[in-house]
Structure 1
Amino acid sequence: MGLAEIRGIIREAWPLMLAEAVGSIVSLIDLAFVSRLGVTALAGVGAGSYAGWFLNVPLAAFYIGVLVLASQALGAGRRSLAERIVGESLTAAMLAALPLAAAGIAAAHGLGMWLSGGDEAVAEAAAAYLRARLLGHSFFAAMLVLDAAYRAAGANRGILYGAAATAAANTVLDPLLIYVAGLGVSGAGLATAASYAAGVLVLAARARSQAGYSSIASVPRGLAARVFRVGSPAMAERLLFAGGNLVYLAAVARCGEAALAAHTVGVRIESLAFLPAFALSTYASGEVGRLVGAGLLEEAQKRGWSIAGASAAFMTLMALVLAGVAVPASILLAPSEAVATLVVAYLLLAAVSEPALGAVMSLGGAIRGAGNTLVPTLINLVGLYLVRVAPAYLLVGRVASGTACPLVAWLIMDVDVAARAAVFTLVYRRYFRRLARRLV
């Protein structure tokens, strides 16, 4: 793969990557405000964020289903079908988010206790943050569907407007709610909830001019159910992935409050690398989906390979960036010297796996766009549970303790990513044409 081809892919996908980067930067700003409340607050927001991610997962069925079906419908020249897919899914996703939010609010303290390793103070902070954040859960669901609709249409630049609105709302509201209103971690959660609403308003208002959708909301009927079925394997993957990561995080929490806080900071900084790579993954789904919808399987496979190569190259660059910013970022964001030291260790170990992570994400996205959402699910879940969760559960905080405790957890994470990259490469190379199928 030549440098010119990599530049071409990045040039097409840069709005998606920038939108994800904006989200990462806002997340770091959010973390900087919270870190001034102390280690306990920081660890609590980290635990609450993981619990929130778990409650987001069922909505992934709508996101993946819309991305796959709408992109294939547009590739086949059936725009009216694509509009009905988006409209029914938007309403259905917002309704589905309501019971999820209610369940999360009710279980917030229990989740906080488990994720914090039984630390009552951290659990209370996690519960306060999670309850406030879940007030915007329906808006988050709507934002997912609209984001998928824009990506399916190749309207990549339009997504930037939603990202900018979300970022502006969160950045302005964070200090006002956390400090001026004196709401602490609850203020951080409320700022996030309000930012989702701001993003939805902008994406909805620009759907016609940016993505060509004349209608974005309708009564859920058979298409919404079909979208959910197509996206269900991805939902199951993310649900089990989120559950596995909760077990993994609980293992890290056994290493102590400082390790949990460092993991929170490290993941937020690393998101500057992996969220743009996630953008390339969804870009691959849209590109491959439109080509499969048009019946061009050979071109679809080649396009997926090219995007995966560009993603690995980008993540190699980001690995160098992570290594370079590890020390200054830890000083800026960590609330103590002990946490800062562990943040540096996390970022250096994460940098090792970034190129492989780029390949995993893009090849998985390409296979989903081709119409098969089950195979990527199976590969990711086997890797997560057998290579990451089981060893972490058995070793971290038990066999591995003291200074080595979090380091072993983060090394296990690297091994998991490398193993999945090898499997995805083999499967994509040999079996893509067998896996690809038109769904519309």
Structure 2
Amino acid sequence: MDNKILIDPSEDRITIGKKVSKLALPIIFSNLLYAVETSVSLILVSGISSTAVAGVGYSNSMLWFVYSLSALSYTGTSVLIAQRVGAGKDPSPAFLWGLILAFLIAIPLTFFGADITTALMVQFGASKEVAEVSYQYLKPIFLFITLGFLLDVFYGAYNGYGDTKTPFKIDLLISLTDIIFSYLLIYGKFGLPRLEVAGAGWGMVIAEILGLLAYLYLYIAYRRPFPVRLDLGRDVLLKMLRIGSPTALERAITSLSFNIFVGMVARFGDKALAAHQVGLRVESVSFMVGFGFMIASTIVSGQNFGAGNYKGLHRGISTIAHLTALIMGLAGVFLLLFPREFSYIFVKDPEVVDLAVYYLVIVALSQPQMAYASIYSGALKGMGKTHIPLMINISSFWLFRIIPSYVFLKFFPSPIVPWVFMSVETTLRALIFYLAYRWIISKLTSPTIKEIPTS
């Protein structure tokens, strides 16, 4: 199987779109599965209380922060494998170092993760009731969090290698297992104990155990995604740290900032927080499409960068960007037309639904901008320029989202204020990412400059 995704600069956009879509669709479906999985978790615990919805929803937001730490191993693995495949080099060292780093990062979280995470939630504005519910959900997840970090490395290795179908199949297995066991353990069906919110956490753990076993079986039986040689090159480790560290730092600070931002909403009560979580779940269908194409853009960028095919890289990325913006723009139209109907899927409380409608109408207007920001960010990461997304994402989030929200909330105390600035910030961030990408690609394709350094 030829895993190289190289783009001919003379190819028409329809041909490129088909090639990229073939790569991206399994990733999109994998991310949609995750969106469905987390959404079903909210639906299942909604039968307990609105506090349970707020707790599980906020916990999932905080887990984004925690899993940002795995970005060091995941991003380094994915980008380096893509670049090495494009350059015709053995990807083994990147995969091995990714597994080692993931394990070392996850171990401390096993013992202290749940306590630290729920303490942060209270500091960000969550009520003690929400924090207590969150702790029940997070305790089993952190106990086995090493599994999740190792799964990320396998996922990144397959994607960087150009095989996106296998991770989708395993994600399908994980999602179905999570949903089934969460239901059984939340409500104590078929003789199993009734664990309520904790049951949702154990459902995720059981699913991740099964997913990791599936990856191990594929390697032992079929040497997939590729045969691994015991080669731990020091230069590969240093490059992985150089590429992965900015992304890990970016995701950690951005996720922490996001939870500070959510805390601004949480100050208006559990119903406002629940509405925010419902809005996120509905929007996640569109977001996961963009996230899937972003991973595809990283793969295309990384492989073509490794092969020195800079003009093909630009042709491929521009096609992905416009295609993603079109799809997410259409999703935004549906959010505008049916916000109330989508909200009622997750919660029946009329007050929560009314607030969620405001959220969805506001974010619907920024879906195409989110698409462009995601794709150009992914392209820069694929080229190894991970320090640029670090600077853009952090500065944009604080300058255009958190600080203006904090100021305006003093005069207009409403959760609508941070939601408006969330949409404004997405638009400005997309513009900045476009300008940064154009600057880098113009340097790469200039006839007088062969390549600019990766750091």
- TM class by shorter chain equals over 0.9
1:59-99 CA distance string (max 9 Å, x none): 111111111111111111112xx122102211320231111
Q: Give the equivalent residue in structure 1 for 2:96.
A: 87
Distance 2:279 2:421 in 1: 16
SS at match of 2:195: coil
Q: Relative to 1, partners in 2 of residues 1:274 and 1:437: Cα closer, same or farther, differing over 3 Å?
A: farther
SS at match of 2:366: helix
Q: Is 1:356 aligned to 2:369, yes or no?
A: yes
SS at match of 1:36: coil
Q: Relative to 1, partners in 2 of residues 1:26 and 1:109: Cα closer, same or farther, differing over 3 Å?
A: closer
Equivalent positions of 1:408-427 (< 5 A) are 408-427=417-436
Distance 1:46 1:11 in 2: 32
SS at match of 1:213: coil
Maintained 8 Å contact 2:23/2:296: no
1:273-300 CA distance string (max 9 Å, x none): 1112111111111111111111111111
Q: Relative to 1, partners in 2 of residues 1:217 and 1:171: Cα closer, same or farther, differing over 3 Å?
A: farther
Q: CA deviation at 1:324?
A: 4.1
In structure 1, what residue type is equivalent to 2:115? A
Maintained 8 Å contact 2:247/2:390: yes
SS at match of 1:183: coil
Distance 2:232 2:109 in 1: 20
The percent of aligned pairs where both chains have the same amino acid is 27
Distance 1:272 1:216 in 2: 39
Pick from 96, 101, 117 the counterpart of residue 110 of structure 2: 101
Q: Relative to 1, partners in 2 of residues 1:423 and 1:118: Cα closer, same or farther, differing over 3 Å?
A: closer
Q: How many residues align?
A: 433
Pick from 188, 196, 212 the counterpart of residue 184 of structure 1: 196
- Normalising to structure 1: TM-score of the pair? 0.92
Give the structure with the higher percent helix: 1
Equivalent positions of 1:12-411 (< 5 A) are 12-79=23-90, 82-115=91-124, 117=125, 119-180=127-188, 181-207=193-219, 209=222, 212-215=225-228, 223-396=236-409, 398-401=410-413, 405-411=414-420
Distance 1:215 1:433 in 2: 37
Q: Relative to 1, partners in 2 of residues 1:318 and 1:107: Cα closer, same or farther, differing over 3 Å?
A: same
SS at match of 2:412: coil
In structure 1, stretches of 5+ residues that fail to align are none
CA RMSD of aligned residues (A): 2.3
Maintained 8 Å contact 2:126/2:266: no
Q: CA deviation at 1:118?
A: 5.3
Maintained 8 Å contact 1:72/1:438: no
Q: Relative to 1, partners in 2 of residues 1:253 and 1:393: Cα closer, same or farther, differing over 3 Å?
A: same
In structure 2, what residue type is equivalent to 1:182? R
Distance 1:216 1:438 in 2: 28
Distance 1:394 1:102 in 2: 38
Q: CA deviation at 1:376?
A: 1.5
- Normalising to structure 2: TM-score of the pair? 0.89
Q: Relative to 1, partners in 2 of residues 1:102 and 1:225: Cα closer, same or farther, differing over 3 Å?
A: farther
Maintained 8 Å contact 1:349/1:410: yes
Q: CA deviation at 1:23?
A: 1.1
Maintained 8 Å contact 1:292/1:438: no
Distance 2:216 2:173 in 1: 12
Distance 1:184 1:357 in 2: 36
Distance 1:215 1:35 in 2: 45
In structure 2, stretches of 5+ residues that fail to align are 1-11, 445-450
Q: Relative to 1, partners in 2 of residues 1:131 and 1:406: Cα closer, same or farther, differing over 3 Å?
A: same
1:188-221 CA distance string (max 9 Å, x none): 1121222222222223333585954123998896
Q: Give the equivalent residue in structure 2 for 1:431.
A: 440
